[in-house]
Amino acid sequence: MSTVTILDVLRTKRDGGELSDEQIRWFIAGYTEGRVAHEQASALLMAIVWRGLSSRELATWTAAMVATGVRLDLSSVGRPTVDKHSTGGVGDKVSLALCPLVAACGAAVPQLSGRGLGHTGGTLDKMESIPGWRARLRRAEFLVQLREVGAVICAAGDDLAPADRLLYALRDVTATVESIPLIASSIMSKKIAEGTGALVLDVKVGSGAFLPEVDRARNLAATMVGLGEASGVRTAALLTDMSTPLGRTAGNALEVAEAVEVLAGGGPADVVELTVTLARVMCELAGLDADPAEVLARGRAMDEWRAMVRAQGGDPDAARPTAAHVERVAAGADGWLVGLDARKVGEAAWRLGAGRARRDDPVDAAAGVVWHAVRGERVASAQVLFELHTGDAARLPGALEALDGAAVVHGSPVTPVPLVLERIG
């Protein structure tokens, strides 16, 4: 019988000590099963924010979260499995093109995704703008689709790391979201539980990122790579720029259209670059000798996309939602666009209805922002720079306020910022 008590756990971490493996497993299981009170769990989370977790503590904490549910066995799929996770950004529709592209290269991509919150978009929200598409799949459907199509984008089941769902909800209301050990364990517990053999992490840096500072983002990336490798998942991370939004759209249906453009051989250069770069690392970790750029050019990824959408009830040829109201905003000055603030653009899209303030809020699939120039391009004062799309005209003033100062126009061009800053792992 365990001699661990919650007060001993709290005192140990409050005073800067290391929790034993037994204490960690006892706490995670106890909170998941309702034997530890919310206020006690809140106290421990806050102590972790202040005191941190050692590498050993974090590895045990993450493994204990995985152990509260099932760890999927994907060995029957018949292909090497590899997934990608992004820490979230503005205009980040990369997963939509990346999953079918890597599947077309010969891998199986089991992407369990989430919904948007605040200024960052969610992959499931984007996919749900496709008529008929469904995010929830039964386990058998999930496995059949991985075998037969090669790519799945869907919601995680309730039995995958249920401790994370409970702890995340608690962190959300106790100002303990930003702790790197807690972020890393939250992301990696779900990815480890999904059973993928390899994982690439896209860790965003800049104004539109969850962690804008490069040092903190690098710390998070290295921490997650370590957790993945310790759990037998081949893992690498890329730090990528999110000081300016990706592509030229932010909003669910708008981003789907842009992802389809990429699959058709077009699309914005930055979205294509990041998609192909991530695909190359995914293929490397999966042990595949394939050139994603060539596969994309030949149209095979588009075939995979259409099959993936149809397998989940969607119609890839159906018209997607369009906004009832579109407001156009001029550049206001002649010169070079030297800055386009990702957070401001994301907040404008959120205020237009593309995102949510609480997890159960509805989203407007057609809402969002389109920008007609990107950093480094020349603009004219009367040129339309932004389009604001929404189903509710009353949302426009708030979105315009959020966009104030987002675009910086200067008389001379700016030095380009690399999209991919560094690789870890």
Spatial distance between the Cα atoms of 425 and 208, rounded to a whole number of angstroms: 24
Are 85 and 107 members of one domain? yes
Given a contact cutoff of 8 angstroms between Cβ atoms, the answer to whether 302 and 264 are in contact is: yes
76 is catalytic: no
- Report pLDDT digits (tens) over 113-169: 887 665 667 899 999 999 999 999 999 999 999 999 999 999 988 899 999 999 988
- The boundaries of the domain holding residue 19 are 6-52
Are 190 and 168 members of one domain? yes
Active-site pick, 86, 129, 185, 186: 186
List beta partners, residue 215: none
- Report pLDDT digits (tens) over 306-324: 999 999 999 999 999 999 9
Are 204 and 286 members of one domain? yes
Per-residue pLDDT, averaged over 42-65, amounts to 96
Q: Is residue 404 part of a domain?
A: yes
Spatial distance between the Cα atoms of 244 and 289, rounded to a whole number of angstroms: 33
Are 282 and 189 members of one domain? yes
Supply angle C-alpha 415, 417, 423, rounded to 5: 150
Spatial distance between the Cα atoms of 247 and 238, rounded to a whole number of angstroms: 18
Q: Is residue 376 part of a domain?
A: yes
Q: What is the CA radius of gyration of the chain?
A: 22
**In 3-state terms, what secondary structure has residue 220?**
helix
Count the alpha carbons within 13 Å of 240 in the hemisphere toward its beta carbon: 27
Question: Which residues, other chains included, contact 11 with Cβ-Cβ below 8 Å and sequence gap of 6+?
Answer: none
Q: Is residue 417 part of a domain?
A: no
pLDDT at residue 114, rounded to an integer: 80
Given a contact cutoff of 8 angstroms between Cβ atoms, the answer to whether 263 and 296 are in contact is: yes
* pLDDT for 17 beyond 80: yes
**Strands, DSSP E only, in 48-89?**
82-86
Residues comprising the chain, all counted: 425
Beta-carbon count within 10 A of 114 CB: 16
Place of tokens 């156009």: 328
CATH number of the domain that residue 368 is part of = 3.90.1170.30
Residue 260 CA from chain centroid, whole number? 19
Q: Is residue 421 part of a domain?
A: no
Active-site pick, 190, 234, 248, 375: 190
Are 291 and 331 members of one domain? no
Are 292 and 219 members of one domain? yes
Are 329 and 305 members of one domain? no
Active-site pick, 119, 171, 343, 389: 171
Total domains present in the chain? 3
310 is catalytic: no
**Token couple for 246:** 């990706």
pTM metric for this prediction: 0.94
Q: Is residue 22 part of a domain?
A: yes
pLDDT at residue 298, rounded to an integer: 93
Are 187 and 293 members of one domain? yes
Active-site pick, 125, 164, 202, 270: 164
93 is catalytic: no
pLDDT at residue 119, rounded to an integer: 61
